Structure 1
Amino acid sequence: MKIKNMFSIKRVGIILLVVILLALGAAGAKQGPMVTADLLKYEPSPVEPGDIMEVYISVTNEGTTSETFAIEFVPEFPFSLGPGEDEMKTLAALPQGENAVVKFWVQVDPKAPSEDRDIKFNYRYSSSPTWIQLQSPVAIRTTGAILNIDKYKTIPKTVKPGDLVDVELNLRNSGNLDVKTVDVTLDLGEIPFSPIGSGDTKRIQFIRANNAEKVNFALIADTSAEIKVHSIPVTLTYRDSRGTEYTEETSFSLIMGAEPELMAVVDSTTISSKGNPGTITIKVINKGIMDLKYLNMRLISTNNYDVLSASNEAYIGNLDSDDFETVDFIIKPKNKDVQLKAIVDFKDPYNKEYQRQFLLPLRVFTARELGKGGFNWFGALVVLVILGALGYWYYRKRKKRRIKKQKE
């Protein structure tokens, strides 16, 4: 029994010794330098051919001593150092357990293929006998051809119904590949415009990468075109230098409008003489092709008349094309011939503000001038002539009857 217990004690002792030795070995392994470097990130990601990217290298000292660290970029297609960038970068001292980040500016060759390529660096630290290579994949992606209308202009800028308009579209190839056989088609099916002198499709043979070309269309607006902003759909079909076909949908806008044509006249008045108050009715007429809105009229007092209405302003509201509204004011004229001063503020359909001033002649007639006062000699003469004619007719008729009785 004692012998058996002795063997058990020895076995436990051996196991403890092994554990202690393993722990000491692990601790010894961590003693001294142990520096690693990894690709942390790169921006942009993915990167395009011709771009310059920022490459971040993470450096970590997992050892127990402070180390001096150096890393150098390995130029290899399609990667090269960016302008003014240093090929090698160093850290004077990297304490144990610390982490640092080193950044490089790296240029991607414009002819780089659209695929993943390894970027390479060599690094070492003061206790390392040789250089250690770091390599990591970088995603390079070619966006291909990107064609769009980056700007356009129309002459005239604002189009009236029935107008001719010249449209110039500027097509820019924002991609990294040349494009060819570019067909530009206007979809005018539901739009009140028609092409003049050519069809609705124009072709540009070739547009280089990062370049632009212009195309022109001559259009005429329908006479019944609605006053608003018309969006013109455009279809772009083309091929890039690799033979890939593209179809893009875009659009531009044409502004339909005109200069407002507003007119005001004195429609009627109850004023019979100067110095006596009366009502005037002013008619406001929209002679233009655009509907107008938020009309407000002000009648300004002058030396020729006073405005006696409770307010010298009257809100008219909206006024459609080829329509009119009337506004009444009470005034007291001081002279026989009066010129009314009216101001109208309003907006067009695009909320552009306008103001029009009108000078409206108003003549105050006397009763005599209207034929309502004094003796009317002309009227009396007419009455006398009529009465004379009737008397003569009656006399002739009586005379004929008398002669007829005498004969009987």
Structure 2
Amino acid sequence: MTQSTANLLRYLFVLTILASAITIAPATAAGGALKVDITRYEPYPAEIGKYVDVWVNVKNMGGGTAEDVTIELMPKYPFTLDSSSNARQNKGSIGADSSAMYEYRLFVASDAKPGAHEITIRYQGDEGPTWSEKDFEIKVGTDTLDSRGTLKLEAIKTDPEVLIPGDEGTVTITLTNTASQYAVTINGKDYDTNAQLKEIELIGSDGIVVTTGSYQNMGVLGPDDSIEISYNVRVSDDAADGTEHLNLALTGSSHTYNAKWNIPIRVEIAGIKIIPSKPLKLACDGGKIEFDVANTHSSMFTSVSIEPRAEGITFTPTEYFIGTMEPDELFTIEF
């Protein structure tokens, strides 16, 4: 949940808002569809006669919860597990559109040949006799095949969807390897189609500061595989209304495979508006004033309260608590 704060001074009022964008989780149901990927391994490439750490991500792509997710790494020569008891791992259930990360440590045989070698990972979403399997390649040694995978920017998601000055939010970026097969032959020479991720950095703009550092040495992304990367951002209090343009910089296996993408982020100055619904007139002995309070932000606000302040004037009530305000919702309040 992302916290938002907006301060508006108008008609001698100070508006105090504690706001958060609300995400509604999908209902739980049986039958999650699992996607298994090796997100990275270190060192890259794996070194002969040494250990290599492998991170396996399991994402539930289905509409329901996968109740009892188990994965098992089945190494092949030249790889062996640090302990055979670590081969099978179970982290319980994985909700819809959620992920779990599993870590393995493999030893590379001292007589291994440089090149790409396979391991097999099998997995199941519920306990039973049925397993699915997927093979992955791990590069070994310095004399490995050149990588020719190409990445594309698949999706950009901002939470909240529209930011306001003073906001803190999250930008999630999806990158996909566009290759559809594991190897290609160019001029009689074989190349693998993995995409190497040496460094990925989101660079801020005048109005938005990126508070998450760059991701480094993230390994490789196989053909047709995707990776989601999240960055925390903060919008300056004086950010202008409009679109801020951030830059995503990728360092790949060589200069040819480096890339930069424009990341547009929408900023809206208006969040809550206070509009007098009647003429602002007070007699010497007091009176009543009435205002309309409108949420012009595209996200829901919670814990909205209005606190009037003016020199020499006492207001009753001293604070008007509205609570939750949906986008475009309007309340009329009276003091």
For this structure pair, what is the TM-score category when the shorter chain's length is used for normalisation?
0.3 to 0.5
Greater relative CO (CA pairs within 8 A, separation 6+): 2
Whose helix proportion is higher, 1 or 2? Answer: 1
Structure whose CA Rg is larger: 1
- TM score, norm. by length of structure 1: 0.29
